[in-house]
Structure 1
Amino acid sequence: MGKRAEIDVDSSRTYVGPTNNNNNKFPLSFWEVTVALCVVVSFVLGLACVYLTMPASDYSFLKLPRTLEDLQILRDHLEDYTSDYTIQVLVGYCLVYIFMQTFMIPGTVFMSLLAGALFGVFKGVALVVFTATAGASSCYFLSKLIGRPLVFALWPDKMSFFQTQVAKRRKGLLNYMLFLRVTPTLPNTFINLASPIVDVPYHIFFLATFIGLIPAAYLTVRAGIALGDLRSIGDLYDFQAIATLFLIGVVSVTPTLMSKRKDD
């Protein structure tokens, strides 16, 4: 993959990333692709087990929702199964959500809306936070194994920025990661993939993810209860909702800023 260039940021040694003279070369090796395929097969087998325990029926409605109309159709059908086959629906939901998070498949916002529509606010938020944290953790560990060349190939500029910020904020890293999770400063997908590469410890990653996703999960799940009133995904995040998330993010990072002033 070529030699790795190194930089020294705030006296902590970190990697900028692999330098590759052949920009057209596929960033993952055969072994790395094999690991990813094994994970995919594991999820597929889990879903197959869920499918086999469900009653014989027409499941043509089962597909990843891409529009609100798809989601409403899925909700209408799954409502008939949720009360009688609660475990199977829950396990299937969790597997799909975690799989989507692990492999950066867009559309988890629809899954969060579905949780609200099927299970209500309290259970829905608990389910979304659990699956989102599990999926982010799965992505974190997979990236730790095989993600470095892929992340640097996709987001070289963001990686440089994120690496510098993490190095600067080691003492208040939990607050900074909470800020990133609550606010849309950096995409969650990027945070999941990049965190292990810039040496964000897993316990900090886990806590920031678990706590930081609660506000957005609540907004989305609550909207899922009134799914019929939604006209577009943009209705979820109006100015008030975004301002609230930023306010929570600022509060989460304030202790770090205050401690820096005291040190100065």
Structure 2
Amino acid sequence: MAAPRSFTALKDEESGGSMEQLEDDSPSSKKPKLKKFPLNSWEFAVAVAVFFLFSTALFCIYLTMPATTSANLKLPRTLSDLRTLKDQFSTYANENPVQFIIGYCSTYIFMQTFMIPGTIFMSLLAGALFGVVRGIMLVVFNATAGASSCFFLSKLIGRPIVTWLWPERLRFFQSEIAKRRDKLLNYMLFLR
């Protein structure tokens, strides 16, 4: 004969409370429960839509470029790549300034939003193609827009995913920040 399940009551019925189940010794209660994916369908749809919107815009801009310019197109990783790209784009930027600026801004904001390395070379390219004053204005606008979209995208999907994947590390990091609350700026600079 099987032993009955053990239930522990918080309050008994004599004190006016109801019986509540605290513990269940059944084998089915001992199985680990799978954690639910942290994003709801709306958040997931927004994240995918942002990625596809940027990707589609970049693909359309690439298709409208002349074949001579798009043949050797790559993101600059060194100063020699930057010089080569400047030579390729200088005539295209002068002939099609609006289209080039839209393509440049879309690429820069995409790289900044999804934290793709290389925005420093994109900033140098803006200075080389547009001059110091217009290049600075363009870079400040793109860096601000990209960082803002990165922040909002991270806040939308990053926080739930980090809490879902690494809850222990997050608690450890939060406790370290709490310990160093008075010297938080130095700690954040050190981590960076």
TM-score, normalised to structure 2, is: 0.63
2:149: which partner in 1?
Answer: 138
1:99: which partner in 2?
Answer: 110
SS of alignment partner, residue 71 of structure 2: coil
Shift of the alpha carbon at 1:68? 2.1
SS of alignment partner, residue 147 of structure 1: helix
* In structure 1, C-alpha distance between the alignment counterparts of 2:90 and 2:109, rounded to whole Å: 21
Shift of the alpha carbon at 1:37? 2.5
Higher relative contact order (CA 8 A, sep 6+): 1
For residues 150-196 of structure 1, the C-alpha deviation after alignment (integer angstroms, 9 at most, x for no partner) is 4566884895389659x879xxxxxx7xx99xx96564xxxxxxxxx
TM-score, normalised to structure 1, is: 0.47
Cα 1:125/1:150, change in 2 over 3 Å: farther
Shift of the alpha carbon at 1:59? 1.2
* In structure 1, C-alpha distance between the alignment counterparts of 2:135 and 2:162, rounded to whole Å: 31
1:76: which partner in 2?
Answer: 87
The structure carrying a bigger strand percent of its residues is 1
2:174: which partner in 1?
Answer: 160
Q: What code does the residue aligned with 2:126 have?
A: A
Cα 1:87/1:97, change in 2 over 3 Å: same
Consecutive unaligned residues in structure 2, runs of 5 or more? 1-31
* In structure 2, C-alpha distance between the alignment counterparts of 1:72 and 1:64, rounded to whole Å: 12
In the TM superposition, what are the counterparts of 1:1-264 in structure 2 within 5 Å? 29=39, 31=41, 33-151=44-162, 156=170, 160=174, 164=178, 187=192
Q: What code does the residue aligned with 2:174 have?
A: S
- Cα-Cα RMSD: 3.6
Shift of the alpha carbon at 1:53? 3.7
Percent identity between matched residues is 51
Consecutive unaligned residues in structure 1, runs of 5 or more? 1-21, 170-175, 188-264
Equivalent pairs counted in the alignment come to 153
* In structure 1, C-alpha distance between the alignment counterparts of 2:40 and 2:172, rounded to whole Å: 26
Q: Is the 8 A contact 1:61 1:73 kept in 2?
A: no
Q: What code does the residue aligned with 2:55 have?
A: V
* In structure 2, C-alpha distance between the alignment counterparts of 1:161 and 1:83, rounded to whole Å: 54
SS of alignment partner, residue 65 of structure 2: coil
Shift of the alpha carbon at 1:145? 1.1
For residues 54-79 of structure 1, the C-alpha deviation after alignment (integer angstroms, 9 at most, x for no partner) is 33435122122222222222111011
Cα 1:146/1:54, change in 2 over 3 Å: same
Q: Is the 8 A contact 1:100 1:108 kept in 2?
A: yes
* In structure 1, C-alpha distance between the alignment counterparts of 2:40 and 2:54, rounded to whole Å: 20
